[in-house]
Amino acid sequence: MFFEQIYDKTLAQASYLVGCQATQEAIVIDPKRDIDTYLAIAVANNLNITHVVETHIHADFLSGSRELATATAARLYLSDEGGVDWQYEFPHIGLKDGDVITVGNLLFTVLHTPGHTPESISLLLVDQPAAKEPVMLFTGDFVFVGDVGRPDLLEEAAGVVGSSSVGAAQLFHSLAKFKALPDYVQIWPGHGAGSACGKALGAVPSSTVGYEKIRNWALQFGDDFEGFKKELLSDQPEAPHYFAMMKKLNKEDRPLLVSVPDYPIIDLKSLSSDTIIVDTRSKVDFANGHIEGAINIQNNNSFANWAGWMLPYDKPLVFVIDQGQQELVTRKLMRIGLDNIAGFIATTEGHDLTQTTIIDADAVDILKDQENVVLLDVRNIKEFKAGHIDGAQHYFVGRMAKALPDITKDKTIIIQCQSGDRATIASSFLMKQGFQNILNYSGSMIDWIKKGKKVVH
Protein backbone atom coordinates (compact mmCIF):
# COMPACT_ATOMS: atom_id res chain seq x y z
CA MET A 1 0.00 0.00 0.00
CA PHE A 2 1.15 3.53 -0.81
CA PHE A 3 0.17 6.32 1.57
CA GLU A 4 0.91 10.04 1.67
CA GLN A 5 -0.61 12.89 3.64
CA ILE A 6 -0.66 16.25 1.84
CA TYR A 7 -0.82 19.04 4.40
CA ASP A 8 -1.60 22.67 3.63
CA LYS A 9 -0.20 24.76 6.50
CA THR A 10 -2.04 27.87 5.33
CA LEU A 11 -5.44 26.33 6.10
CA ALA A 12 -4.27 23.55 8.45
CA GLN A 13 -5.94 21.16 6.01
CA ALA A 14 -4.97 17.55 5.33
CA SER A 15 -5.74 15.46 2.27
CA TYR A 16 -4.57 11.96 1.44
CA LEU A 17 -3.42 9.91 -1.53
CA VAL A 18 -3.67 6.17 -0.90
CA GLY A 19 -2.73 3.64 -3.54
CA CYS A 20 -2.68 -0.07 -4.29
CA GLN A 21 0.72 -0.72 -5.80
CA ALA A 22 -0.35 -4.13 -7.10
CA THR A 23 -2.97 -2.62 -9.43
CA GLN A 24 -1.49 0.89 -9.65
CA GLU A 25 -4.83 2.42 -8.63
CA ALA A 26 -5.09 5.32 -6.17
CA ILE A 27 -7.73 7.29 -4.31
CA VAL A 28 -7.48 10.90 -3.15
CA ILE A 29 -9.43 11.94 -0.04
CA ASP A 30 -10.52 15.59 0.43
CA PRO A 31 -8.24 17.17 -2.20
CA LYS A 32 -7.39 20.86 -2.26
CA ARG A 33 -8.09 22.85 -5.40
CA ASP A 34 -4.55 23.11 -6.81
CA ILE A 35 -4.56 19.52 -7.96
CA ASP A 36 -1.11 19.42 -9.59
CA THR A 37 0.22 18.27 -6.20
CA TYR A 38 -1.68 14.95 -6.47
CA LEU A 39 -0.91 14.46 -10.14
CA ALA A 40 2.82 14.79 -9.42
CA ILE A 41 2.70 12.34 -6.51
CA ALA A 42 0.84 9.79 -8.61
CA VAL A 43 3.31 10.04 -11.50
CA ALA A 44 6.32 9.81 -9.17
CA ASN A 45 4.96 6.60 -7.65
CA ASN A 46 3.64 4.93 -10.81
CA LEU A 47 0.01 5.26 -9.74
CA ASN A 48 -3.17 6.25 -11.54
CA ILE A 49 -5.75 8.33 -9.66
CA THR A 50 -8.92 6.34 -10.25
CA HIS A 51 -11.08 7.42 -7.29
CA VAL A 52 -11.75 10.77 -5.58
CA VAL A 53 -13.82 11.10 -2.40
CA GLU A 54 -14.90 13.78 0.08
CA THR A 55 -15.82 13.28 3.72
CA HIS A 56 -18.39 16.13 3.75
CA ILE A 57 -19.33 19.47 2.20
CA HIS A 58 -16.39 21.55 3.33
CA ALA A 59 -16.70 25.04 4.83
CA ASP A 60 -13.08 26.13 5.18
CA PHE A 61 -11.66 25.49 1.71
CA LEU A 62 -12.85 25.05 -1.85
CA SER A 63 -12.54 21.36 -2.64
CA GLY A 64 -10.61 20.21 -5.69
CA SER A 65 -12.54 16.96 -6.01
CA ARG A 66 -14.30 17.90 -9.22
CA GLU A 67 -11.15 19.38 -10.75
CA LEU A 68 -9.20 16.22 -9.95
CA ALA A 69 -11.92 13.90 -11.26
CA THR A 70 -12.11 15.95 -14.47
CA ALA A 71 -8.34 15.91 -15.00
CA THR A 72 -7.93 12.17 -14.36
CA ALA A 73 -11.33 10.70 -15.38
CA ALA A 74 -11.48 9.29 -11.83
CA ARG A 75 -14.79 8.25 -10.29
CA LEU A 76 -16.13 10.87 -7.89
CA TYR A 77 -17.64 9.55 -4.63
CA LEU A 78 -19.64 11.85 -2.34
CA SER A 79 -21.98 11.41 0.61
CA ASP A 80 -25.67 10.92 -0.07
CA GLU A 81 -26.41 10.96 3.66
CA GLY A 82 -27.86 13.84 5.69
CA GLY A 83 -31.21 14.36 3.99
CA VAL A 84 -32.38 16.40 1.01
CA ASP A 85 -30.85 19.69 2.20
CA TRP A 86 -27.34 18.22 2.27
CA GLN A 87 -27.03 16.67 -1.18
CA TYR A 88 -24.36 17.66 -3.69
CA GLU A 89 -25.98 19.25 -6.74
CA PHE A 90 -23.75 17.82 -9.48
CA PRO A 91 -23.15 14.29 -10.83
CA HIS A 92 -21.35 11.85 -8.52
CA ILE A 93 -21.49 8.33 -7.13
CA GLY A 94 -23.50 8.51 -3.92
CA LEU A 95 -22.29 6.95 -0.68
CA LYS A 96 -24.37 5.58 2.20
CA ASP A 97 -23.41 4.06 5.53
CA GLY A 98 -21.91 0.60 4.97
CA ASP A 99 -20.98 1.13 1.31
CA VAL A 100 -17.52 -0.03 0.24
CA ILE A 101 -15.14 1.67 -2.20
CA THR A 102 -12.71 -0.82 -3.73
CA VAL A 103 -9.33 0.50 -4.90
CA GLY A 104 -7.34 -2.52 -6.04
CA ASN A 105 -6.71 -4.51 -2.87
CA LEU A 106 -7.84 -1.65 -0.63
CA LEU A 107 -11.33 -1.57 0.86
CA PHE A 108 -12.79 1.68 2.22
CA THR A 109 -15.97 1.14 4.22
CA VAL A 110 -18.21 4.18 4.61
CA LEU A 111 -19.28 5.13 8.15
CA HIS A 112 -21.95 7.81 8.43
CA THR A 113 -20.62 10.03 11.22
CA PRO A 114 -22.86 13.13 11.40
CA GLY A 115 -22.43 15.91 13.90
CA HIS A 116 -20.02 18.39 12.38
CA THR A 117 -22.36 18.28 9.37
CA PRO A 118 -25.41 16.07 8.68
CA GLU A 119 -23.83 14.35 5.65
CA SER A 120 -20.39 13.72 7.21
CA ILE A 121 -18.81 10.34 6.54
CA SER A 122 -15.60 8.62 7.62
CA LEU A 123 -13.69 5.97 5.68
CA LEU A 124 -12.44 2.80 7.38
CA LEU A 125 -9.57 1.19 5.47
CA VAL A 126 -8.73 -2.50 5.23
CA ASP A 127 -5.48 -3.29 3.41
CA GLN A 128 -6.03 -6.79 2.06
CA PRO A 129 -4.54 -9.32 1.63
CA ALA A 130 -2.10 -8.02 4.31
CA ALA A 131 -4.86 -8.20 6.94
CA LYS A 132 -8.61 -8.48 7.26
CA GLU A 133 -8.76 -6.03 10.16
CA PRO A 134 -9.05 -2.25 9.64
CA VAL A 135 -5.85 -0.25 9.75
CA MET A 136 -6.85 3.41 9.23
CA LEU A 137 -9.86 5.68 9.67
CA PHE A 138 -10.05 8.86 7.61
CA THR A 139 -12.26 11.05 9.76
CA GLY A 140 -12.51 14.32 7.84
CA ASP A 141 -13.87 16.84 10.37
CA PHE A 142 -15.46 14.22 12.64
CA VAL A 143 -12.59 13.39 15.02
CA PHE A 144 -9.35 15.34 15.15
CA VAL A 145 -6.25 14.70 17.21
CA GLY A 146 -7.42 15.85 20.64
CA ASP A 147 -10.69 17.38 19.47
CA VAL A 148 -13.89 16.85 17.46
CA GLY A 149 -15.58 18.79 14.69
CA ARG A 150 -17.72 21.68 15.88
CA PRO A 151 -21.46 21.39 15.11
CA ASP A 152 -22.12 25.14 15.34
CA LEU A 153 -20.51 26.12 12.03
CA LEU A 154 -23.74 25.57 10.09
CA GLU A 155 -25.47 28.01 12.42
CA GLU A 156 -22.61 30.48 12.75
CA ALA A 157 -21.42 30.56 9.13
CA ALA A 158 -24.36 29.34 7.06
CA GLY A 159 -27.27 30.60 9.17
CA VAL A 160 -28.95 27.22 9.71
CA VAL A 161 -30.91 28.08 12.86
CA GLY A 162 -30.98 25.37 15.54
CA SER A 163 -28.37 23.19 13.87
CA SER A 164 -25.91 23.50 16.78
CA SER A 165 -28.05 21.48 19.21
CA VAL A 166 -29.05 18.93 16.58
CA GLY A 167 -25.45 18.52 15.48
CA ALA A 168 -24.26 18.08 19.07
CA ALA A 169 -26.68 15.19 19.56
CA GLN A 170 -25.64 13.59 16.29
CA LEU A 171 -21.97 13.96 17.17
CA PHE A 172 -22.47 12.36 20.59
CA HIS A 173 -24.08 9.34 18.87
CA SER A 174 -21.33 9.18 16.23
CA LEU A 175 -18.64 9.17 18.93
CA ALA A 176 -20.20 6.05 20.41
CA LYS A 177 -19.65 4.38 17.06
CA PHE A 178 -16.07 5.65 17.04
CA LYS A 179 -15.34 4.25 20.51
CA ALA A 180 -16.47 0.79 19.37
CA LEU A 181 -13.59 0.58 16.86
CA PRO A 182 -10.40 -1.33 17.74
CA ASP A 183 -7.91 0.75 19.72
CA TYR A 184 -5.10 0.14 17.21
CA VAL A 185 -6.88 1.80 14.26
CA GLN A 186 -4.94 4.86 13.10
CA ILE A 187 -6.81 8.18 12.90
CA TRP A 188 -6.06 10.48 9.97
CA PRO A 189 -8.14 13.69 10.28
CA GLY A 190 -8.93 16.47 7.85
CA HIS A 191 -7.35 19.26 9.90
CA GLY A 192 -4.63 20.06 12.40
CA ALA A 193 -3.81 22.82 14.85
CA GLY A 194 -4.84 26.26 13.66
CA SER A 195 -8.06 25.25 11.95
CA ALA A 196 -11.29 27.03 12.92
CA CYS A 197 -13.16 23.71 12.56
CA GLY A 198 -12.49 22.97 16.24
CA LYS A 199 -11.13 24.64 19.35
CA ALA A 200 -8.34 22.34 20.60
CA LEU A 201 -6.85 20.53 17.60
CA GLY A 202 -3.51 18.85 18.20
CA ALA A 203 -0.37 19.64 16.22
CA VAL A 204 0.65 16.03 15.55
CA PRO A 205 -0.65 14.66 12.23
CA SER A 206 -2.37 11.49 13.39
CA SER A 207 -3.44 9.40 16.37
CA THR A 208 -5.18 6.13 17.18
CA VAL A 209 -8.65 5.28 18.43
CA GLY A 210 -7.16 4.04 21.70
CA TYR A 211 -5.13 7.17 22.32
CA GLU A 212 -8.08 9.44 21.57
CA LYS A 213 -10.16 7.51 24.10
CA ILE A 214 -7.57 8.53 26.70
CA ARG A 215 -6.73 12.12 25.75
CA ASN A 216 -9.54 13.57 23.62
CA TRP A 217 -11.73 15.77 25.84
CA ALA A 218 -14.86 14.86 23.85
CA LEU A 219 -14.56 11.18 24.74
CA GLN A 220 -14.49 11.70 28.51
CA PHE A 221 -18.20 12.27 29.22
CA GLY A 222 -19.58 8.74 29.27
CA ASP A 223 -23.39 9.05 29.07
CA ASP A 224 -23.40 12.72 30.12
CA PHE A 225 -24.72 14.33 26.93
CA GLU A 226 -25.60 17.67 28.54
CA GLY A 227 -22.09 18.04 29.92
CA PHE A 228 -20.65 17.11 26.54
CA LYS A 229 -22.91 19.58 24.72
CA LYS A 230 -22.08 22.45 27.06
CA GLU A 231 -18.35 21.94 26.65
CA LEU A 232 -18.65 21.36 22.89
CA LEU A 233 -20.46 24.62 22.19
CA SER A 234 -18.41 26.84 24.50
CA ASP A 235 -15.38 28.93 23.48
CA GLN A 236 -15.39 27.92 19.82
CA PRO A 237 -13.38 30.30 17.60
CA GLU A 238 -15.14 32.83 15.40
CA ALA A 239 -16.24 31.36 12.07
CA PRO A 240 -14.66 33.24 9.13
CA HIS A 241 -17.08 34.97 6.78
CA TYR A 242 -15.91 33.00 3.77
CA PHE A 243 -17.09 29.69 5.29
CA ALA A 244 -20.64 30.36 4.07
CA MET A 245 -19.34 30.90 0.52
CA MET A 246 -17.34 27.65 0.67
CA LYS A 247 -20.44 25.71 1.73
CA LYS A 248 -22.29 27.12 -1.26
CA LEU A 249 -19.52 26.58 -3.83
CA ASN A 250 -18.70 23.06 -2.62
CA LYS A 251 -22.33 22.00 -2.88
CA GLU A 252 -23.35 23.61 -6.17
CA ASP A 253 -22.13 23.46 -9.76
CA ARG A 254 -19.37 26.02 -10.42
CA PRO A 255 -16.54 26.82 -12.87
CA LEU A 256 -13.55 24.51 -12.53
CA LEU A 257 -9.84 25.36 -12.47
CA VAL A 258 -7.72 22.38 -13.49
CA SER A 259 -4.48 24.40 -13.43
CA VAL A 260 -3.06 27.29 -11.43
CA PRO A 261 -4.04 30.57 -13.13
CA ASP A 262 -1.38 33.01 -14.34
CA TYR A 263 -2.67 36.49 -13.58
CA PRO A 264 -0.99 39.53 -15.20
CA ILE A 265 1.26 42.17 -13.70
CA ILE A 266 -0.62 45.46 -14.02
CA ASP A 267 -0.38 49.10 -12.98
CA LEU A 268 -2.76 51.31 -11.06
CA LYS A 269 -3.88 53.23 -14.14
CA SER A 270 -5.74 50.17 -15.43
CA LEU A 271 -7.84 49.63 -12.30
CA SER A 272 -11.58 50.16 -12.12
CA SER A 273 -12.95 52.35 -9.34
CA ASP A 274 -14.28 49.42 -7.29
CA THR A 275 -10.99 47.49 -7.30
CA ILE A 276 -9.62 46.58 -3.86
CA ILE A 277 -5.84 46.72 -3.43
CA VAL A 278 -4.35 44.18 -1.03
CA ASP A 279 -0.72 44.59 0.00
CA THR A 280 0.79 41.21 0.93
CA ARG A 281 4.19 42.53 2.00
CA SER A 282 5.39 42.52 5.61
CA LYS A 283 3.69 44.88 8.05
CA VAL A 284 7.00 46.76 8.43
CA ASP A 285 7.33 47.40 4.70
CA PHE A 286 3.67 48.33 4.51
CA ALA A 287 3.94 50.84 7.37
CA ASN A 288 6.99 52.46 5.78
CA GLY A 289 5.18 53.13 2.52
CA HIS A 290 2.09 51.76 0.75
CA ILE A 291 -0.43 52.69 -1.90
CA GLU A 292 -3.19 54.77 -0.36
CA GLY A 293 -6.31 52.71 0.35
CA ALA A 294 -4.50 49.36 0.33
CA ILE A 295 -5.34 46.71 2.93
CA ASN A 296 -2.35 44.92 4.45
CA ILE A 297 -2.79 41.13 4.70
CA GLN A 298 0.67 39.63 4.98
CA ASN A 299 1.62 36.64 2.83
CA ASN A 300 2.24 34.21 5.68
CA ASN A 301 0.52 31.02 6.82
CA SER A 302 -2.56 33.01 7.89
CA PHE A 303 -2.95 34.85 4.59
CA ALA A 304 -5.80 32.77 3.15
CA ASN A 305 -7.72 32.84 6.42
CA TRP A 306 -7.61 36.64 6.71
CA ALA A 307 -8.26 37.11 3.00
CA GLY A 308 -11.40 35.04 3.53
CA TRP A 309 -12.40 37.20 6.48
CA MET A 310 -11.75 40.59 4.90
CA LEU A 311 -12.17 40.38 1.11
CA PRO A 312 -15.34 40.21 -1.01
CA TYR A 313 -16.07 37.65 -3.71
CA ASP A 314 -17.86 40.13 -5.97
CA LYS A 315 -15.25 42.87 -6.53
CA PRO A 316 -11.97 42.85 -8.48
CA LEU A 317 -8.87 42.35 -6.36
CA VAL A 318 -5.28 43.44 -7.02
CA PHE A 319 -2.41 42.20 -4.88
CA VAL A 320 0.89 43.94 -4.17
CA ILE A 321 3.46 41.16 -3.87
CA ASP A 322 7.12 40.62 -3.14
CA GLN A 323 9.22 39.35 -6.03
CA GLY A 324 8.66 35.67 -6.81
CA GLN A 325 5.47 35.32 -4.72
CA GLN A 326 2.88 35.49 -7.49
CA GLU A 327 2.23 31.75 -7.80
CA LEU A 328 2.20 31.14 -4.03
CA VAL A 329 -0.33 33.92 -3.45
CA THR A 330 -2.46 32.63 -6.34
CA ARG A 331 -2.53 29.11 -4.88
CA LYS A 332 -3.58 30.38 -1.47
CA LEU A 333 -6.40 32.43 -2.98
CA MET A 334 -7.71 29.70 -5.27
CA ARG A 335 -7.95 27.33 -2.29
CA ILE A 336 -10.71 29.54 -0.89
CA GLY A 337 -12.26 30.36 -4.26
CA LEU A 338 -11.10 33.97 -4.54
CA ASP A 339 -10.85 33.96 -8.31
CA ASN A 340 -11.82 37.59 -8.93
CA ILE A 341 -8.18 38.64 -9.31
CA ALA A 342 -7.52 41.50 -11.73
CA GLY A 343 -3.76 41.12 -11.42
CA PHE A 344 -0.64 41.80 -9.38
CA ILE A 345 1.49 44.84 -8.64
CA ALA A 346 5.11 43.76 -8.38
CA THR A 347 6.58 47.00 -7.03
CA THR A 348 5.43 50.15 -5.26
CA GLU A 349 8.16 52.21 -6.93
CA GLY A 350 6.74 55.05 -9.00
CA HIS A 351 3.53 55.19 -6.97
CA ASP A 352 2.50 57.88 -4.51
CA LEU A 353 2.85 56.23 -1.12
CA THR A 354 1.49 56.91 2.34
CA GLN A 355 2.69 55.68 5.73
CA THR A 356 1.11 54.18 8.83
CA THR A 357 1.80 55.91 12.13
CA ILE A 358 3.39 53.38 14.51
CA ILE A 359 3.49 54.08 18.23
CA ASP A 360 5.10 52.33 21.19
CA ALA A 361 3.86 51.19 24.61
CA ASP A 362 4.74 54.44 26.39
CA ALA A 363 2.76 56.46 23.84
CA VAL A 364 -0.21 54.15 24.31
CA ASP A 365 0.02 54.63 28.08
CA ILE A 366 -0.04 58.40 27.68
CA LEU A 367 -2.77 58.61 25.05
CA LYS A 368 -5.24 55.82 25.86
CA ASP A 369 -7.20 57.65 28.57
CA GLN A 370 -7.50 60.96 26.75
CA GLU A 371 -11.03 62.11 25.92
CA ASN A 372 -10.85 61.91 22.12
CA VAL A 373 -8.84 58.66 21.99
CA VAL A 374 -10.15 55.10 21.64
CA LEU A 375 -7.89 52.11 22.33
CA LEU A 376 -9.28 49.30 20.16
CA ASP A 377 -8.34 45.69 20.88
CA VAL A 378 -9.05 43.66 17.70
CA ARG A 379 -8.23 40.17 19.02
CA ASN A 380 -10.89 37.51 19.49
CA ILE A 381 -13.12 37.69 22.54
CA LYS A 382 -11.43 34.78 24.32
CA GLU A 383 -8.06 36.52 24.12
CA PHE A 384 -9.59 39.80 25.29
CA LYS A 385 -11.22 38.21 28.34
CA ALA A 386 -7.96 36.46 29.24
CA GLY A 387 -6.26 39.83 29.71
CA HIS A 388 -6.30 43.26 28.08
CA ILE A 389 -5.02 46.81 28.44
CA ASP A 390 -7.07 48.85 30.91
CA GLY A 391 -9.60 51.01 29.08
CA ALA A 392 -9.47 49.07 25.80
CA GLN A 393 -12.63 48.53 23.79
CA HIS A 394 -13.03 45.17 22.07
CA TYR A 395 -13.96 44.74 18.42
CA PHE A 396 -12.75 41.65 16.56
CA VAL A 397 -10.99 42.57 13.32
CA GLY A 398 -12.87 39.94 11.30
CA ARG A 399 -16.19 41.68 11.97
CA MET A 400 -15.04 44.88 10.26
CA ALA A 401 -15.71 43.58 6.76
CA LYS A 402 -19.40 43.23 7.63
CA ALA A 403 -19.85 46.12 10.08
CA LEU A 404 -17.52 48.88 11.22
CA PRO A 405 -17.04 49.58 14.94
CA ASP A 406 -19.33 52.25 16.37
CA ILE A 407 -16.65 54.93 16.58
CA THR A 408 -16.92 58.37 15.00
CA LYS A 409 -14.25 59.25 12.45
CA ASP A 410 -13.11 62.34 14.38
CA LYS A 411 -11.72 60.10 17.13
CA THR A 412 -8.07 59.08 17.34
CA ILE A 413 -8.04 55.27 17.31
CA ILE A 414 -5.13 53.22 18.66
CA ILE A 415 -5.23 49.70 17.19
CA GLN A 416 -3.66 46.72 18.94
CA CYS A 417 -3.90 42.93 18.87
CA GLN A 418 -1.57 40.22 20.21
CA SER A 419 1.57 40.49 18.06
CA GLY A 420 0.73 43.19 15.52
CA ASP A 421 -0.43 41.24 12.47
CA ARG A 422 -4.15 41.72 13.05
CA ALA A 423 -3.54 45.31 14.14
CA THR A 424 -2.09 46.16 10.73
CA ILE A 425 -5.06 44.49 8.99
CA ALA A 426 -7.48 46.50 11.11
CA SER A 427 -5.53 49.75 10.80
CA SER A 428 -5.31 49.55 7.02
CA PHE A 429 -8.95 48.49 6.70
CA LEU A 430 -10.23 51.41 8.79
CA MET A 431 -8.01 53.86 6.91
CA LYS A 432 -9.52 52.61 3.66
CA GLN A 433 -12.96 53.30 5.13
CA GLY A 434 -12.06 56.93 5.81
CA PHE A 435 -10.76 56.83 9.39
CA GLN A 436 -7.79 59.22 9.21
CA ASN A 437 -6.62 59.39 12.84
CA ILE A 438 -5.28 55.84 13.14
CA LEU A 439 -2.32 54.89 15.33
CA ASN A 440 -0.98 51.35 15.09
CA TYR A 441 0.50 49.87 18.26
CA SER A 442 2.31 47.20 16.29
CA GLY A 443 4.03 45.74 19.35
CA SER A 444 0.59 45.01 20.82
CA MET A 445 0.01 42.73 23.83
CA ILE A 446 3.28 40.83 23.53
CA ASP A 447 5.21 44.08 23.76
CA TRP A 448 2.89 45.53 26.42
CA ILE A 449 3.43 42.56 28.72
CA LYS A 450 7.16 42.50 27.99
CA LYS A 451 7.38 46.13 29.08
CA GLY A 452 5.70 45.23 32.38
CA LYS A 453 2.59 47.31 31.72
CA LYS A 454 -0.67 46.70 33.57
CA VAL A 455 -3.09 44.03 32.25
CA VAL A 456 -6.69 43.73 33.48
CA HIS A 457 -9.22 40.90 33.17
The answer on 415 and 390 residing in a single domain is yes
pLDDT at 157 (0 to 100):
67
In a shared domain, residues 76 and 219? yes
pLDDT for residue 212 is more than 80: yes
Q: What is the predicted pLDDT for the residue at 344? A: 97
What are the C-alpha distances in Å from 454 to residues 373, 387, 418, 447?
A: 19, 10, 15, 12
pLDDT at 250 over 70: yes
What whole-number percentage of the chain has pLDDT above 90?
91
**Mean pLDDT score of the chain, rounded to an integer?**
96
The reply to whether 365 and 347 lie within a common domain is no
Q: Are residues 48 and 69 located together in one domain of the fold?
A: yes
Whether 10 and 100 share a structural domain: yes
Asked whether residue 274 falls in the same domain as residue 297, the answer is yes
In a domain, 424, yes or no: yes
Does residue 238 share a domain with residue 142? yes
Q: Supply the CATH number for residue 408's domain.
A: 3.40.250.10
Checking if the pLDDT of 202 tops 70, the result is yes
Higher local confidence (pLDDT), 342 or 160? 342
Q: What is the pLDDT of residue 246?
A: 96
Instruction: Tell me how many domains the chain contains.
Output: 3
95 and 224 share one domain? yes
In a domain, 367, yes or no: yes
Tell me if 323 is assigned to some domain: yes
Domain final residue, candidates 251, 286, 310: 251
Q: How confident is the model at residue 158 (pLDDT cuts 50, 70, 90)?
A: low
Which residue range forms the structural domain that includes residue 435?
357-456
Question: pLDDT tens digits, residue range 375-434?
Answer: 999 999 999 999 999 999 999 999 999 999 999 999 999 999 999 999 999 999 999 999
Same domain, 272 and 167: no
**CATH number for the domain harbouring residue 34:** 3.60.15.10
The pLDDT, as a whole number, for residue 334 is: 98
In this prediction, what percent of the chain has a pLDDT beyond 70? 99
pLDDT at site 154: 76
In a domain, 310, yes or no: yes
Clarify whether residues 168 and 88 are in a common domain. Answer: yes
Where does the pLDDT of residue 147 fall: very low under 50, low under 70, confident under 90, or very high at 90 and above? very high
pLDDT above 90: residue 176: yes
Asked if the structure places residue 229 within a domain, the reply is yes
- Which tens digit of pLDDT belongs to each residue from 332-375? 999 999 999 999 999 888 889 999 999 999 999 999 999 999 99
pLDDT confidence band for 183 (50 / 70 / 90): very high
- Same domain for 223 and 333, yes or no, is no
Q: What is the 3-state secondary structure (H, E, C) of the chain?
A: CEEEEEEECCCCEEEEEEEECCCCEEEEECCCCCCHHHHHHHHHCCCEEEEEECCCCCCCCCCCHHHHHHHHCCEEEEECCCCHHHCCCCCCEEECCCCEEEECCEEEEEEECCCCCCCCEEEEEEECCCCCCCCEEEEECCEECCEECCCCHHHHCCCCCCHHHHHHHHHHHHHHHHHCCCCCCEEEECECCCCCCCCCCCCCCCEEHHHHHHHCHHHCCCCCHHHHHHHHHCCCCCCCCHHHHHHHHHHCCCCCCCCCCCCCECCHHHCCCCCEEEECCCHHHHHHCEECCCEECCCCCCHHHHHHHHCCCCCCEEEECCCCCHHHHHHHHHCCCCCCEEEEECCCCCCCEECCEECCHHHHHHHCCCCCEEEEECCCHHHHHHCEECCCEECCHHHHHCCCCCCCCCCEEEEECCCCHHHHHHHHHHHHCCCCCEEECCCHHHHHHHCCCCEEC
* Within-domain flag for 263: no
Per-residue pLDDT at 269:
81
| Residue 5 predicted with pLDDT over 80 | yes
pLDDT value of position 103: 98
Q: Are residues 214 and 94 in the same domain?
A: yes
